[in-house]
Amino acid sequence: MKRNLKIILSFFIAAAFFLCGCQKNIDVFVPDAGQLNGPDTTWYGSVSDAMPVTALRNSLALETFKKDIVIGTNKDTVTTTNGLTCIFPAGNYLSTGNVAVTGKISSEVLLLRKKGDMIRMNRPTLSNNRLLISTAEVFVRLKDTQNITLAPATLLNLRIADPGSIANNIAFFAGEELSNGSFNWAENNDPTNNFINATTTPLQVTTNKLRWTSIANIFDTTGLIRNVLRVSLPSNYTNANTMVYAVFRDLRSVVNLTADISAKKFTSIKLPDGKAVTVIVISHQANDYYSATASITTGASTNVLSVTPVKNSLANINALLDNL
């Protein structure tokens, strides 16, 4: 009997050791909450909608002001709380295939005047790599079951309250939303149908274009020394999860820094020297947000700026953008 008990006890001890050994082989390491799990250090030739930086932009984006309007034989008007009035005239409105549309449709409008809002919507003040000083950026979209366009002779009237000081060389720019996800403000190629009356209050803009338009003036760099600004970040901050902007403190101007893939840095256009600029870095990695700011004066001495972001809340990042 004792012999049988010893055999049974030996069996259970051996089984216990065996199970412990197996458990070591199936253990899974779970990182502490908030830690990055295998950060991606790869820089990409193009940024896709599936990348974290796209989710970051979506989380920061502003809501458009939405209102149903009636188009056809009479004009209709939409006015936002921050000073934009859109007057939709009687005229021809077209859906896909140039099919005429009348009756009730949906409108979406948005006015950007704050530099932080230009960052939120990824609408830097650049025209073919030239710096713009913005008066206002406007978004207008019309749709029913599909997007609607204006016929060439149908002109939308925009009125912008309290535009501030108006520069002598103020001009109309049309937004170019490029296939690679980048954006450019194109100079006016149709002044007959797109023009500004800057002598009135509110400022009045007439246009046959929907989606993005801008009222701005080109910053004159004649005779100015200019230098490129480069921002270096830790290896896990790449163009797949991070965006970087240079915000001019004495101008309503915002410049996005683009990816230099070979150097693994973010790089600006040539900026005029001697300007006070705040560099803004915002990143989205795993389930967390990171940010950093740096105040500099542009010039050769700040050609390469090293920045290390820290974890931050989305609410704090929004507050930062509100105060630019």
Tokens of 146: 């599909």
The model's pTM: 0.86
Of 266 and 29, the structure prediction assigns the larger pLDDT to 266
Spatial neighbors of 97 by CB under 8 A, at least 6 apart, are none
pLDDT at 194: 97
pLDDT digits (tens, 9 = 90+) for 84-113: 999 999 989 999 889 999 999 999 999 999
How far is 190 from 163, CA to CA, in rounded Å?
23
Neighbour tally for 261: CB within 10 Å: 13
pLDDT digits (tens, 9 = 90+) for 144-198: 988 999 998 899 999 999 887 788 899 999 999 987 778 999 999 999 999 999 8
How far is 119 from 123, CA to CA, in rounded Å?
6
Q: What percent of the chain has pLDDT over 70?
A: 88
Tokens of 3: 């012999």
How far is 241 from 243, CA to CA, in rounded Å?
7
Cα angle 146-149-155, degrees, rounded to a multiple of 5:
150
User: Is the confidence at residue 122, as pLDDT, over 80?
Assistant: yes
- Identify whether the C-beta of residue 53 lies closer than 8 Å to the C-beta of residue 281: no
Tokens of 162: 């309290």
Asked if omega into 202 is within 30° of 0 (cis), the reply is yes
Question: Could you write out the three-class secondary structure of 103-146?
Answer: EEEEEEEEEECCHHHHHHCCCCCEECCEEEEEEEEEEEEEECCC
Helix (H, G, I), strand (E, B) or coil at 96: coil
User: Is the confidence at residue 8, as pLDDT, over 50?
Assistant: no
Dihedrals phi, psi of 319, to nearest 5 degrees: -65, -40
How far is 257 from 19, CA to CA, in rounded Å?
55
Q: What is the mean pLDDT of the chain?
A: 89
Helix (H, G, I), strand (E, B) or coil at 320: helix
- Radius of gyration of the chain from its Cα atoms, rounded to whole angstroms: 27
Dihedrals phi, psi of 263, to nearest 5 degrees: -90, -15
User: Is the confidence at residue 200, as pLDDT, over 90?
Assistant: no
pLDDT at 38: 52
When pLDDT is cut at 50, 70 and 90, the band that residue 302 belongs to is confident
Q: What percent of the chain has pLDDT over 90?
A: 77
Window from 31-45, 56-70, 131-145 with minimum mean pLDDT? 31-45
**DSSP designation for 310:** E
- Identify whether the C-beta of residue 259 lies closer than 8 Å to the C-beta of residue 266: yes
Torsion region of 33: left, alpha or beta (phi above 0 gives left; psi -120 to 50 gives alpha) = beta
How far is 83 from 204, CA to CA, in rounded Å?
12
Taken in order of first residue, the domains within the chain and their CATH numbers are 61-218 (2.60.220.50), 226-322 (2.60.40)
pLDDT digits (tens, 9 = 90+) for 309-321: 999 999 999 999 9
- Identify whether the C-beta of residue 216 lies closer than 8 Å to the C-beta of residue 125: yes
- Identify whether the C-beta of residue 277 lies closer than 8 Å to the C-beta of residue 296: yes
Tokens of 19: 């199970």
Q: Which of 122, 116, 112, 113 is nearest to 53 (CA)?
A: 122
Strand-pair partners of 66:
108
User: Which residue's structure tokens are 């650049």?
Assistant: 126
Burial 302-313 (b: 16+ CB within 10 A, else e): beebebebeebe
pLDDT at 22: 45
When pLDDT is cut at 50, 70 and 90, the band that residue 245 belongs to is very high
User: Is the confidence at residue 140, as pLDDT, over 60?
Assistant: yes
